[in-house]
Amino acid sequence: MPDAQQLAQQILDSVGGSANIADVENCMTRLRVEVSSPASVDLPALQATDGVMAAIAAGSNLQIVLGPGLVDRVAVDLEALRAAAPPAAAGGAGASSAAAASGASGASGASPEDLAARGASIKASARSRSDGRTMRAIRKISAIFIPLIPALIACGLIAGINGILTNLGWVPGVTPFLGVLSSGFLSLLAVFVGMNAAKEFGGTPILGGAVGGIIVAAGVANVTVFGETLAPGQGGVLGALAGGILAAYVERFMRRVTPDVIALIVVPTVTVLVAGSVTLGILMSVAGVVSVAIGTAATWLLANGGAFAGFVLGGLFLPLVMTGMHQGLIPIHTTLIDQTGWTVLLPVLAMGGAGQIGACIALWVRFRSNASLVRTIRGALPAGFLGVGEPLIYGVTLPLGRPFITACIGGAFGGGVVGLFDQLGHSVGAIAIGASDLSLIPLLNGSSGYGWALLGYGSGLIVAYVVGFVATLLFGVSASVKADLEEQSAAPSGDPVAPDAPLDVQVTPADSVGAAR
């Protein structure tokens, strides 16, 4: 396992030093670094760094895939190194030499890094074309919700355990206790969304939380707007999101026009008064209508589109992950959970990762004598089974081209099965986000209860695994790539392939065009 502090130092050197870093944030698997000068970034050295699964540059935004757990430690160490480094010393000759050393070490070509670098190269061109206002807005909104995912997972798992115990009738005295543990955070979700929204848009988090708290306040039931009596929680996370963003803009304006001597009193008061009034008088009603529309549309889509809708959604999810656009679905999932208790979209979309697992197992079976490829797949599969598909995307299927497409086919068929259950009246939902594949099983629920949800989701997983496996085994590798992989499987002069032998697979444009799109 790479040392987090050493890896943080190598990343700092490769991106041009602390003076070239404008902002650092991370999600569950990726480190996002905003740089001042993209030209100062040594991307090849970064891609070749041990521990970096992929590094993608899209303008001034770098996305460095490290994997779960490690990304959190590296983010902390990188921030500490930034704080300790003198500004004038950043990005100097030391950085260049370190980057060169890193590039030299990568030149020896360990297979995981080689494949990851190739996958990053394919993705970089697609990301550079899509790094417009839409993608920047998606990243900004997703940054509001991503910090909430660990709590959503924890509370969702506790709620799932509590639901199973309740259905089985075991330890009845424990279920109310677990119910409180699981519902406390969710009941105040609007507050946390408001806080993060204000912070992300340049305001004070606690003021955004104060505005978000209006939505869940019990006294809302005494307020009538346009002849309609409001209800606590109306508008949900969408109302809190809009209210928190508005609070940030009001606060920033007030700080510009308010004298310093009275700013401490005037700025927060006017911020809460104005943003809170607009939230109470307009945003709650509007967001309530939008929330209901989202829930109705998602339910209608799978209830009527059924297998076809599931097929399309399951097949498109991996390309969304590849471009990072899947983060834009987080507010939709959260809205559905807040409104109905579960999201019917997540179990369908999770089939994309299951199809990829089947595809990678097929590659393992077909080229099991290729030690480098097997080592890459073996290292990434455990994360894949737990719902983290990026190591497999960037390390295996995307750089090889066709397996990415056959993985999508597996995901499409799995999604079709889950969609069929929805169409038959047994909706399959997830009560929390942030989990996928096997880790989503404890979080299942639906209109017919946990049993039907488990049957629908489990059936979809099996179909996605099998179809992804068979499609990849039959059609997943072109003749040229197959020849390269088999050639490396056979050692010169009859000697076995060394465990650390580099894997040099030449992917032609025809092989990778589907993945690049």
CA distances from residue 364 to 444, 471, 487 in whole angstroms, order as listed: 30, 14, 16
Return the exposure string of 429-466: e unless at least 16 CB atoms fall within 10 Å of the residue's CB, then b.
Answer: bbbbbbbbbbbbbbbbbbbbebebbbbbbbbbbebbbb
Contact, 113 vs 173, CB < 8 A?
no
Length of the chain equals 517
Single out the catalytic residue among 27, 155, 360, 408: 27
Handedness of CA 399, 405, 410, 415 (dihedral sign): positive
Answer yes or no: 27 catalytic: yes
CA dist 112 and 123 (Å) reads 16
- What's 84-98 look like in SS3? HCCHHHCCCHHHHHH
3-state secondary structure 237-281: HHHHHHHHHHHHHHHHHHHHHCCHHHHHHHHHHHHHHHHHHHHHH
What is the C-alpha to C-alpha distance for residues 404 and 123, in angstroms, rounded to an integer?
12
Angle between helices 509-516 and 111-130 (to 10 degrees): 60
Phi then psi dihedrals of residue 69, to 5 deg = 85, -65
Name the residue with tokens 């943003």. 275
Residue 339 phi, psi (nearest 5): -90, -45
Centre a 10 Å sphere on the Cβ of residue 305 and count the other Cβ atoms it contains.
Answer: 16
What is the phi/psi pair of residue 474, to 5°?
-90, -40
Other beta carbons within 10 angstroms of residue 50's beta carbon come to 15
Residue numbers annotated as active site = 27
